[in-house]
Every structure is written in C-alpha cells, then in structure tokens.
Amino acid sequence: MAIGKWDKRFIGLALHVAEWSKDPSTRVGAVIVDNKQRVISMGYNGPPRGVSDHYVTREDKLFKTIHAEENAVLFAKQDLTGATAYVTHPPCANCAAKLVQSGVTRVVFPAPSEDFLSRWKESYYAALGMFVEAGVAVETGE
C-alpha cells in the first residue's frame, strides 16, 4: 500500500527531528502518532542525557547511542498501543523489538538503500521478521 499524504507529513516531521541529532554521520528521527494522527512522542539518535557526544571510536559511539525509535518510546507519556511510528531510516532489530513491545501496530519508513543494507542487512531482515510475526504493519515509501 502506498503511503498517504499524512504519512509523508509525519516522515517530513521525523526528518526535521533528525536534524537535532549531533551525530556527524547518521541523523535519524522518529515520530510516534496515535490513531487520530496526533503526535505522541518524538526522538532522535544521540547519547543518553548527561553523556558526552564526543566519541573516541565508532564502536564507542555505537555503544553509547540511543536510537531515535528508542528515545521516542522512552519519552512517550502515554500508552503506545495502536500507534504508528514514522522513522527516517529502517529500524534495526533492537528498535523493532522495542516498537513491538510498546504496542506500536504500524511502522512507516523509507525503503532501505543498498548502502544501508550493506551495513544493516541482518538486523533489517530480523526487524522485518519480528514485525510480521507480531502483526505490525510495515510500509515503506520514497
């Protein structure tokens, strides 16, 4: 199913939120909305509160970064059951698990690029498998 006008708007909002990330290589944003298209929560990738965003190595960054989807789930102040998550990048397996566990029933994100798949292929397909098994609708767009 093609993504609609509101889906494009919320992906646009997620792209705006992604700009708040200080990560020089990958900026990711997430927006979670309820079934009446009201924003419940937003998040972007970055270190935990009070932790420096200056990393010595890539591995150091990976260990300390909270993903956009995780931040959006953590900062939600209400139940996410039945919500839709809009993410600027395909969710990794860990974020997919958190979205499923939080009650999100639909996830919208751009189709993965070849570059993305060259680095995240296993995690991406594990995420898709979890979404399918849990009955979470997945829609990819432009």
61 Cβ partners below 8 Å, 6+ apart? 23, 55
CB 99 within 8 A of CB 32: no
Q: Which two tokens stand for residue 54?
A: 């200056």
Element (H, E) at 139: strand 137-141
Instruction: Give residue for tokens 């829609």.
Output: 139
CB 53 within 8 A of CB 93: no
122 has catalytic annotation: no
In the set 19, 59, 69, 133, the catalytic residue is 69
CB 109 within 8 A of CB 91: yes
Just list the catalytic residues.
Answer: 69
